[in-house]
């Protein structure tokens, strides 16, 4: 019972503080995006209208995020397998995915929308007037003089999943995590920071079911034909970077930097791998993981890149906690436990199976990629209670009921790093940057 009460108090400060600060009254929230750089906010930040309406205990928040990750991993697995999978959500309310949002101005005159960043998706979507199942914040096409629906004969109609034609207009439907989406293919002017992008193609959502669709809309940062990169190639040269702020801080200064200008010069790179079956995903070659000074004994097959099966390792902005295939995770977890101390009692919470209720001295964890090593600060792989009395390793094995061939480097492990996606040179860079 005592342990349960301790768990109930874990990092609820995040949500209690967020509930006190009232959204856009924070001066950071009203600051204008500059040049080709957009501010990035966590959905739980004071700048987000989608934060929980009441404080959650740490146990509740972690269980919700794990449930959200479950749907996210099923979505990623369906991408890898090229199959449509609609998982059955649990009775627990699942926080919408993904986790980080930016502001975009849509239409003429502009309507400000908050769009979720998703590096594993291509097309942009917006909830539109009259949408069934959408949030109360919607884009109003009738108020924009530059809005137009796309006809069935438009080339873009062949680039969306499951296109249909009714009355000459192109529509499509798809699954996303635990949700289904029906949308009309449309175009309008999009302004990102001070960059104006005319005739941007996106889905105008008419109906959605489930709880995985971001209520604020979605910006696809993948590599497919309808992604932001593809539609702005002449403007941004298929290059962008981001620094994700920690969800534990009130000082939100993360950023999405579009285009090659202003990107870091001193940064370590690893090659991007090409999977023709799923060219949108950002595959990299993870070769080993080091815990402390020891390279963990992991079978090479756990990291092997296989375009036919989708096996390998991706960076994903929408998954919260890094997931490793079972042989890799088990080896990392066991070495972590050994380094912390064999005699210490290990507890669990939800999908986290390595928690301690006494202070620990943690080893470092290093992801070793082709061409670069990334050693994580403890804040990127440990979660602590407010009193510091409970600590969990914030990684997990891929769930048994999803395709377990994919390793996902998730956003908690990316926080306070600058990730540079240099698609023309087929490389991904990582450098430490304190953006919280």
Catalytic residue numbers?
118, 316
- Whole-angstrom Cα distance, residue 236 to residue 92? 41
Contact (Cβ atoms closer than 8 angstroms) between residue 87 and residue 178: yes
Burial of 174 (0-12, 13-18, 19+ CB in 10 A): middle
Pull the structure tokens for residue 195: 């960059």
Contact (Cβ atoms closer than 8 angstroms) between residue 145 and residue 134: no
For 51, residues 6+ apart whose C-beta sits below 8 A from its C-beta are 15, 18, 19, 43, 44, 45
Return the closest-CA partner of residue 252 out of 50, 92, 28: 28
Q: How many CB atoms are closer than 10 A to CB 161?
A: 12
- Strands 169-176 and 163-166 come out as antiparallel
Burial of 252 (0-12, 13-18, 19+ CB in 10 A): buried
Pull the structure tokens for residue 71: 């749907």
- Strands 322-324 and 395-397 come out as parallel
Which residues make beta-bridge pairs with 303?
none
Return the closest-CA partner of residue 248 out of 8, 30, 60, 58: 58
Burial of 330 (0-12, 13-18, 19+ CB in 10 A): middle
Dihedral (Cα; 423, 426, 430, 433), 10-degree rounding: -30
Q: How many CB atoms are closer than 10 A to CB 363?
A: 17
Cα 186 from chain centre: 25
Contact (Cβ atoms closer than 8 angstroms) between residue 200 and residue 150: no
Instruction: Please give the C-alpha separations between residue 57 and each of 4, 16, 298, 395, 396, in angstroms, as whole numbers.
Output: 11, 9, 36, 20, 21
Q: Phi first, then psi: give them for residue 69, nearest 5 degrees.
A: -60, -35
In three-state secondary structure terms, 290 is strand
């Amino acid at each position: 019972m005592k342990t349960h009460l301790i768990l109930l108090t874990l990092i609820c400060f995040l949500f209690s503080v967020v509930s006190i600060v009232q959204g856009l009254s924070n001066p950071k929230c009203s600051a204008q995006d500059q040049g080709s750089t957009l501010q990035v906010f966590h959905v739980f930040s004071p700048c987000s209208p989608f934060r929980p309406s009441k404080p959650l205990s740490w146990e509740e928040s972690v269980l919700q995020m794990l449930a959200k990750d479950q749907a996210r991993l099923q979505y990623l697995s369906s991408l890898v397998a090229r199959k449509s999978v609609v998982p059955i959500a649990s009775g627990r309310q699942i926080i919408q995915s993904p986790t980080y949002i930016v502001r975009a101005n849509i239409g003429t005159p502009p309507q400000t929308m908050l769009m979720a960043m998703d590096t594993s998706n291509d097309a942009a979507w917006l909830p539109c007037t009259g949408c069934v199942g959408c949030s109360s914040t919607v884009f109003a096409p009738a108020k924009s003089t530059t809005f137009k629906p796309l006809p069935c004969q438009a080339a873009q109609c062949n680039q969306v999943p499951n296109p249909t034609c009714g009355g000459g207009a192109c529509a499509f439907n798809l699954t996303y995590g635990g949700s289904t989406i029906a949308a009309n293919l449309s175009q309008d002017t999009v302004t990102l920071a001070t960059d104006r992008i005319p005739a941007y193609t996106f889905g105008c959502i008419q109906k959605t079911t489930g709880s995985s669709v971001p209520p604020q809309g979605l910006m696809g940062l993948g590599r497919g034909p309808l992604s932001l990169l593809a539609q702005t190639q002449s403007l941004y040269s298929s290059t962008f970077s981001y620094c994700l702020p920690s969800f534990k801080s009130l000082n939100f200064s993360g950023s999405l930097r579009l285009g090659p200008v202003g990107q870091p010069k001193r940064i370590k790179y690893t090659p991007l791998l090409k999977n023709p079956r799923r060219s949108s995903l950002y595959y990299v070659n993870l070769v080993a993981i080091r815990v402390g000074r020891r390279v963990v004994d992991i079978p090479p097959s756990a990291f092997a890149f296989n375009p036919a099966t989708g096996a390998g390792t991706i960076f994903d902005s929408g998954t919260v906690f890094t997931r490793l295939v079972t042989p890799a995770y088990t080896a990392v977890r066991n070495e972590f436990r050994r380094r912390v101390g064999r005699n210490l009692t290990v507890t669990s919470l939800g999908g986290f199976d390595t928690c301690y209720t006494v202070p620990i001295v943690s080893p470092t964890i290093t992801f070793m990629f082709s061409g670069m090593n990334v050693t994580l600060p403890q804040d990127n792989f440990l979660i602590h209670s407010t009193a510091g009395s409970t600590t969990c390793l914030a990684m997990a094995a891929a769930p048994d009921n999803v395709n377990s061939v994919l390793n996902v480097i998730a956003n908690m492990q990316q926080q306070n790093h600058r990730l540079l996606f240099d698609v023309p040179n087929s490389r991904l860079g990582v450098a430490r940057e304190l953006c919280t």
